[in-house]
Amino acid sequence: MRYLICAALLFSAVTLVAQESPQLKACNEKAMTQMAINACASQEADRVDAKLNASYRQLLAKAAGEQNAVPKIKAAERVWINYRDAYIDAMYPATDKRTEYGSMYAMDVALLRAKLTQEHMEDIEELLKEYSGNSGAGPSQKQ
């Protein structure tokens, strides 16, 4: 069982690293310890989260003119945050995470959080297009 978990963690780390940003790559090239690598992963998650938050604020500003749009967008974002957190918990269900998953746990969680947030950016950008009038359907097409 332990080997299966280790294989899954290795696969997830390889998958996440394959999608790394230039900022993460530059940080990891300087990192000499697992603690430093964990810090790089945390910085990556924070960077992607800040990018998402900037787009989210833009979306709220664009959607402000649409009736009922802002509360619905905020509700969707709260649900997504709950999903993200639950997904991470499901990926790492052990009670004693440090013992079960080792010193790479912090890095793995930060990179997974960054990956999920980056994927969610596509959703926010799609909504932003809708409320900016850059697509053929949705709120920008009033009857």
Domain ranges of the chain: 2-32+48-132
pLDDT at 76: 97
Q: When comparing pLDDT for 46 and 12, which is higher?
A: 46
Tokens of 82: 């709950």
Is the domain 2-32+48-132 a CATH 1.20.1270.180 member? yes
pLDDT at 84: 98
CA Rg value for the chain: 18
64 DSSP assignment: T
pLDDT at 90: 97
- Which of 3-12, 77-86, 109-118 shows the lowest mean pLDDT across its residues? 3-12
**Enclosing H/E stretch for 2:** helix 2-17
Summarize pLDDT for 82-137 with one digit per residue, the tens. Answer: 999 999 999 999 999 989 999 999 999 999 999 999 999 999 999 999 998 865 45
Q: When comparing pLDDT for 143 and 47, which is higher?
A: 47
List the Cα angle 5/85/27 in 5-degree steps.
75
pLDDT at 138: 54
Summarize pLDDT for 31-59 with one digit per residue, the tens. Answer: 999 999 999 999 999 999 999 999 999 99
Q: Are 131 and 69 in contact (CB under 8 A)?
A: yes
Looking at the predicted structure, is the pLDDT value of residue 25 above 80?
yes
Residue type, 138: G
pLDDT at 20: 78
